[in-house]
Chain A
Amino acid sequence: MAFNGHQRDDDIIDEDETPTKQPRSSKEMPGLCRNEPNNEAAAPAGRATTDRRTSNSTARHRKDSLKKSRPPFPWFGMDIGGTLVKLVYFEPKDITAEEEQEEVENLKSIRRYLTSNTAYGKTGIRDVHLELQDLTLCGRTGNLHFIRFPTHDLPAFLQMGRNKHFSSLHTTLCATGGGAYKFESDFRTMADLELHKLDELDCLIRGVLYIDSVVSSGPSECYYFENPTDPDRCVQRPYTLENPYPLLLVNIGSGVSILAVYSENNYKRVTGTSLGGGTFLGLCCLLTGCSTFEEALEMASQGESTRVDKLVRDIYGGDYERFGLPGWAVASSFGNMMSKEKRESVSKEDLARATLVTITNNIGSITRMCALNENIERVVFVGNFLRVNTLSMKLLAYAMDYWSKGQLKALFLQHEGYFGAVGALLELLHPS
């Protein structure tokens, strides 16, 4: 599944390299490559690889061009969202002794800092379980790390970059998400860094297609829930996204964007909703006094939304048969909270659960309508709202299946929130 047709420019990749998504034409190589001569770390590495692996001059020439096209380390991709900053970092594992020697101290220190820790400061976290090992990118082999921290801690991140003299590396930082625009000047003034700003939806789609194509071992990147309408038999199953198009891509971050993707380069944003992950957390904080997503989810997992929501059976005593509405369906989210007595009898956990269910169902509902309007049957849900949020995923799977009478399939991806950042990294390596 991994090597599935994303390989384009065979002429610059030799046979024992892992194919990766390549630039769409030879003209697309420039830009960053011209900086190559200034690179201290990557150049020797490239040479070493080339020397070891190639035996004729044509191949050698190609290797040189690949090397030259390669940006200097470190390789980062960044997605600065409304709530979270997502950072992917490629750690080269094929560093030769020679390279090691030539590697500047700053670069080393950054690598060590990132790879030897799983938490940074108070809020930065590396999602170790998502790490992709032995990945070959642009002729280099290494591990891809996935790191996140809250957007409001961006200043601390910039401070760290300043302390570690990040700017001395003369690297280009590819960034996407709204924050790439909002904080561009902060990057410049606080950390002396220039951002290469990228469109977030472009990056998102590029990232999804890439990750899906390279993950070959471990748990399948794409999965779905079998028997979503039967809680006892509902199990997670791998899914092969072989012919992904057309697909509806639903990105649930602070808000929600819904994209119809017809091919790698052909997509449109169908609509969006402001009721997203930010709404879930925002309301939970107000209703329960919690302050983190994890806390909110934890509470939600222990609560009972039916005490908060008014169900069809609360109104009709059972199913509303005239309209085919089952008694268990929510008739009014938070509807029971119109009553003072019931407001006093619910727990924070119940409220958190109801908030989660409300937001999730609503996203499901809008998604379903978009799928119908766009005539698309496959829906991929991504975004950090789904992180450690099996509850929502199962709800979405259920809602898609139930209300479409089995027509729609809800798909999920392991690296749920990181695709924008991955797309940004790809842009660094292979500017489109």
Chain B
Amino acid sequence: MAECGRVDSSTSRHTMDKSITLPPDEIFRNLENAKRFAIDIGGSLTKLAYYSTVQHKVAKVRSFDHTAKAASDKLYEISVQEEVTARLHFIKFENAYIETCLDFIKDHLVNTETKVIKATGGGAHKFKELIEKKLGLKVDKEDEMTCLIKGCNFVLRNIPHEAFVYAKHADSEFRFQTTHPDIFPYLLVNIGSGVSIVKVESEDKFERIGGSSIGGGTFWGLGALLTKTKRFDELLQLASKGQHTSVDMLVKDIYGGSYGSLGLTGDLIASSFGKSATAEKEFSKEDMAKSLLHMISNDIGQLACLYAKLHNLSRVYFGGFFIRGHPVTMHTITYSINFFTKGEVQALFLRHEGYLGAIGAFLKGAEEDNPNQYSWGENYAGSSGLMSVSPDMNPMQRARSGTFDMLEMDRLERQLVNLPLLQDPSSYIPDTVDLTEDALAREYWLYCFEEALDGVVKRAVASQPDMPEAAERAEKFRQKYRHKLQTLRHQPFAYGSLTVRSLLDTREHCLNEFNFPDPYSKIKQRENDVALRYYQKAVKSLEKLSWEERQFALVRGVLAVELKHFYLVKRPWLVDCYDQWFERIKGPPHKCALFFVDNSGVDIILGVMPFVRELLSRGTEVVLASNSGPALNDVTNGELQILTEKIAAMDSVIQAGLKEDRLTLVQSGSSSPCLDLRFGLLIILIYGFALIPMMFLGIMHHLFIVVKKSLGASVTFSFVFSSRLDKVLATVVRERKTDLVIIEGMGRAIHTNYYAMLSCESLKMAVIKNSWLADRLGGKLFSVVFNHATRTNKLRM
């Protein structure tokens, strides 16, 4: 924690005081097409919001016309197209820079048809004229509380890991909460200068059920009087250094010890400031500030608990400038809530708490666009992350630099829905291993990602050989991503729980940021081409085997087509359910198998397809689920369609399957990794091992798996299922009465989703190709995991 504030303090410290220059690449981006402005001006910070569109490249594949085959020796055509997507920008800065910022916006705003700016917050009134004069927009005021609630609903619905519990003394101070699909009802305790306690029951229904005049203004105002310290942040600094016991009268000051019969311990505060009722003693500023902080936090916590109890609410979110990222106040509020509810209610805080008003005002202004009908995702490349400005670490830094904090959100192409078959979406946690909490694992993975960075940059450049400036862009990508990794090293909580998935997402976002939509396209194309040439040969050799031998060969194929030393991996494997599986397939065929696929090349063509072929021959319908958009060397739905066609041309079984609609290809719902990560798939590639999340659907929670290969490097993909996925996939699964889910893949997903269970039969296959991971799982490098689970028997892993 202590280092968090240093990240960018040195660079801007001396230059920002008098005049600031705003680099358009970094803040107020995409102003050219900006529209629908909203502004939330608080006591010290201004939050600006606008909608804009971003043009970026997307990779598409297209099958060549068969008749013109001579035109190319390539399998299919790869093209890069321009696509325009919607993005929301939110920027937070000190009120002192409001004029500079307005000027900047005016200068960079090109073709906007916007006439109005929605405004909220206490300062909206004060700056009305300035805004109207500078921007030529009409200021349209919106109710503060309405904006706040709208914003709160929006972030709770759209940003995973938005809410967190704060635990000062835990390994990880921030414990992020899995977003519950049903966010209502909840209590929002907004601690501004006073306190408002609002019960929110639905998108449009909320009520201020109470409040208190003892709030942030009391801390600030009374604190300023008592300590002659003017700034709020400095008061908090003082408080964090003080001892309240010299000012407060504790139970033990009255009782000499505890008040046993009531269970009140001696250290409890019996009377705040009870010891200062004397003209004789002097008290230190620090002690008084601390006492004041306790007094106010306890009081607010107590009232919040009383209201929560009266209205029978268990989810209580705290926000307002008193909280706004200040560890000191989050700690005292948390303590108070724990005390008054005896641990029954947890104090929840929000990562984007400071933006709620601006988001809400923006949404009010954009109602005709109906933004709530879309799903939005946090863009990690364009967002600063939690505590990018950490006032408690270094109040002077904040005072001087006026650091700009940003949040960007992309509109997702598909609206993601809750899976109807999911029994308990709220209990599903995709990433069980939280790198935020596991320092060793965090070290390891951050190191891996950093080591892999050179390779990624190289691949990115290679993917665009015709573009001379690709190298320059790739270099920018490198800098940006490396900076993100550094930030995450110090503030692993910046974007919610840190996971391998989020590290991959962040990289995808950064790649997209610099227009590298599919760095793997060429590699995948080459691998697919090579693998296709061996398909018939592979099928033929499998045909020659006895039924018994073939079943094993198929499994081995999926597990590790590329693993040269597979023969070294003797059974029993680390997890070995092969015998059970073998017994199972002697029995009646499955009705329908859902197969999550991941890598291009050998993996899909020589591993998965023969397996699929066997299933079809047995009379089992097969649904192949693949990524909608490119993500590392993951096979995309577009690519898979072409590949399946090619294979069908060589293989009558596959062809018949397609024709009879017994083999179906569906999209997983992840149309592009940077957008879908939230609820869909994740993709990952690390240090030569790619972990590709697959999504699953099914009747239960999630799962993943895969291991495999790719040409030069071994690549491990893992899928993480989410509670929400593509509607079509969900429908297909339900209609076809899927009774088998096959997931191949390894990496963290296996480790993290170890105990996750599906409610139908499942098969998970993986080779652990990462020695660190193998170690953690109690196996050796190249250990095989083959887990077959029926509805009743649990995964053995």
Q: Which residues in A have some Cβ–Cβ distance to B below 8 Å?
A: 81-83, 177-179, 181-184, 199, 201, 253-255, 269, 271, 273-279, 281-287, 289-291, 308-310, 315, 322-325, 329-338, 340, 343, 351, 358, 361-362, 365-366, 369-370, 372-373
Q: Which residues in B have some Cβ–Cβ distance to A below 8 Å?
A: 43, 122, 143, 145-146, 192-194, 196, 208, 210, 212-218, 220-222, 224-226, 230, 247-249, 251, 253-257, 259, 261-262, 268-280, 283, 288, 295, 298-299, 302-303, 306-307, 309-310, 340
Contacts A177-B254, A178-B270, A255-B274 known; list 16 others, CB within 8 Å.
Answer: A82-B271, A178-B254, A178-B256, A179-B254, A254-B254, A274-B269, A274-B270, A279-B271, A282-B273, A286-B273, A291-B279, A331-B194, A333-B215, A334-B220, A335-B218, A362-B212
Q: List 24 A-B contacts (CB under 8 A).
A: A82-B271, A83-B274, A181-B256, A254-B254, A271-B302, A271-B306, A274-B272, A278-B273, A282-B272, A287-B226, A289-B279, A332-B194, A333-B217, A335-B217, A337-B220, A337-B225, A362-B213, A362-B214, A366-B302, A366-B303, A369-B303, A372-B310, A373-B306, A373-B309
**Cβ contact within 8 Å between A282 and B306:** no
With A81-B254, A274-B271, A338-B220 in contact, do A365 and B277 touch (Cβ < 8 Å)? no
A30 to B121, CA, bound (A): 69
Minimum C-beta distance from B477 to chain A (A): 45
A330 to B580, CA, bound (A): 72
Can you name the residue of chain B whose Cβ is closest to the Cβ of A186? B256
**Cβ contact within 8 Å between A322 and B218:** no
With A273-B299, A335-B218 in contact, do A290 and B274 touch (Cβ < 8 Å)? no
Which residues from B are CB-within-8-Å of A325?
208
**Which of B222, B247, B256 contacts A182, CB < 8 Å?**
B256
**Cβ contact within 8 Å between A274 and B248:** yes
Can you name the residue of chain A whose Cβ is closest to the Cβ of B146? A322
Minimum C-beta distance from B271 to chain A (A): 3
**Which of A278, A310, A358 contacts B274, CB < 8 Å?**
A278
Which residues from A are CB-within-8-Å of B249?
82, 254-255, 278
Which residues from B are CB-within-8-Å of A269?
262
A282 to B277, CA, bound (A): 4
A287 to B223, CA, bound (A): 11
Which residues from A are CB-within-8-Å of B310?
369, 372-373
Which residues from B are CB-within-8-Å of A370?
306
Which residues from B are CB-within-8-Å of A291?
277-280
A365 to B208, CA, bound (A): 15
**Cβ contact within 8 Å between A278 and B277:** yes
**Cβ contact within 8 Å between A83 and B277:** yes
**Cβ contact within 8 Å between A278 and B271:** yes
Can you name the residue of chain B whose Cβ is closest to the Cβ of A293? B277
Which residues from B are CB-within-8-Å of A336?
221
Can you name the residue of chain B whose Cβ is closest to the Cβ of A177? B254
A83 to B275, CA, bound (A): 9
A-B contact number at CB 8 A: 200
Minimum C-beta distance from B47 to chain A (A): 18
**Cβ contact within 8 Å between A334 and B225:** yes
**Cβ contact within 8 Å between A334 and B221:** yes
Minimum C-beta distance from B189 to chain A (A): 14
A179 to B254, CA, bound (A): 6
Query: Of B192, B218, B255, B288, which is in contact with the most chain A CB atoms at under 10 Å from its CB?
Result: B218
A336 to B218, CA, bound (A): 9
Minimum C-beta distance from B723 to chain A (A): 35
Minimum C-beta distance from A340 to chain B (A): 7
Minimum C-beta distance from B188 to chain A (A): 13
Minimum C-beta distance from B269 to chain A (A): 4
Can you name the residue of chain B whose Cβ is closest to the Cβ of A200? B259
Main secondary structure of the interface of A (DSSP, over half): helix
**Cβ contact within 8 Å between B213 and A358:** yes
**Cβ contact within 8 Å between B225 and A287:** yes
With A309-B213, A334-B217, A373-B306 in contact, do A281 and B262 touch (Cβ < 8 Å)? no
Which residues from A are CB-within-8-Å of B261?
199
**Cβ contact within 8 Å between B271 and A338:** no
**Cβ contact within 8 Å between B279 and A290:** yes
**Cβ contact within 8 Å between A82 and B194:** no
Query: Of A83, A255, A334, A362, which is in contact with the most chain B CB atoms at under 10 Å from its CB?
Result: A334
Which residues from A are CB-within-8-Å of B277?
83, 278, 281-282, 284-285, 291
A181 to B276, CA, bound (A): 22
Minimum C-beta distance from A363 to chain B (A): 10
Which residues from B are CB-within-8-Å of A82?
249, 253-254, 270-271, 274
Can you name the residue of chain A whose Cβ is closest to the Cβ of B288? A286
**Cβ contact within 8 Å between B215 and A337:** no
Which residues from A are CB-within-8-Å of B122?
315
Minimum C-beta distance from B392 to chain A (A): 19
* Top 5 A-B residue pairs of the complex, sorted by shortest distance between their CB atoms: A337-B221, A282-B273, A278-B271, A178-B254, A182-B256
Which residues from B are CB-within-8-Å of A281?
277
A138 to B78, CA, bound (A): 104
Can you name the residue of chain B whose Cβ is closest to the Cβ of A329? B213
Can you name the residue of chain B whose Cβ is closest to the Cβ of A351? B225
**Which of B43, B145, B283, B299 contacts A286, CB < 8 Å?**
B283
Can you name the residue of chain A whose Cβ is closest to the Cβ of B306? A369
Which residues from A are CB-within-8-Å of B213?
309, 329-333, 335, 358, 361-362
Which residues from A are CB-within-8-Å of B269?
255, 274
Which residues from A are CB-within-8-Å of B145?
322-323
Query: Of A278, A291, A343, A370, which is in contact with the most chain B CB atoms at under 10 Å from its CB?
Result: A278
Minimum C-beta distance from B107 to chain A (A): 33
A275 to B269, CA, bound (A): 9
Can you name the residue of chain B whose Cβ is closest to the Cβ of A323? B208
**Cβ contact within 8 Å between B212 and A275:** no
**Cβ contact within 8 Å between B218 and A332:** yes
A284 to B283, CA, bound (A): 14
A40 to B146, CA, bound (A): 77
A334 to B295, CA, bound (A): 14
With A332-B194, A332-B213 in contact, do A283 and B274 touch (Cβ < 8 Å)? no
**Which of A255, A276, A335 contacts B221, CB < 8 Å?**
A335
Can you name the residue of chain B whose Cβ is closest to the Cβ of A317? B125
**Which of B146, B224, B230, B295 contacts A279, CB < 8 Å?**
B295
Query: Of B192, B217, B269, B310, which is in contact with the most chain A CB atoms at under 10 Å from its CB?
Result: B217
A309 to B214, CA, bound (A): 10
Minimum C-beta distance from A259 to chain B (A): 11
A372 to B221, CA, bound (A): 31
**Cβ contact within 8 Å between A178 and B251:** yes
**Cβ contact within 8 Å between A285 and B278:** yes
Which residues from B are CB-within-8-Å of A361?
213
A332 to B222, CA, bound (A): 11
Which residues from B are CB-within-8-Å of A178?
251, 254-256, 259, 270
A178 to B251, CA, bound (A): 8
**Cβ contact within 8 Å between A358 and B283:** no
**Cβ contact within 8 Å between A310 and B225:** no
**Cβ contact within 8 Å between A335 and B275:** no
A5 to B196, CA, bound (A): 46
Which residues from B are CB-within-8-Å of A285?
276-279
Can you name the residue of chain A whose Cβ is closest to the Cβ of B270? A255
Which residues from B are CB-within-8-Å of A201?
262
**Cβ contact within 8 Å between A182 and B255:** yes
A372 to B307, CA, bound (A): 10
**Which of A182, A279, A323, A372 contacts B272, CB < 8 Å?**
A279
Which residues from A are CB-within-8-Å of B274?
82-83, 254-255, 274, 278-279, 282
Can you name the residue of chain B whose Cβ is closest to the Cβ of A365? B212
Which residues from A are CB-within-8-Å of B210?
365, 369
Minimum C-beta distance from B174 to chain A (A): 29
Minimum C-beta distance from B181 to chain A (A): 29
**Cβ contact within 8 Å between B276 and A286:** yes
Can you name the residue of chain B whose Cβ is closest to the Cβ of A309? B213
A199 to B271, CA, bound (A): 19
Query: Of B192, B256, B298, which is in contact with the most chain A CB atoms at under 10 Å from its CB?
Result: B256
**Cβ contact within 8 Å between B255 and A276:** no
Query: Of B225, B259, B295, which is in contact with the most chain A CB atoms at under 10 Å from its CB?
Result: B225
Can you name the residue of chain A whose Cβ is closest to the Cβ of B219? A334
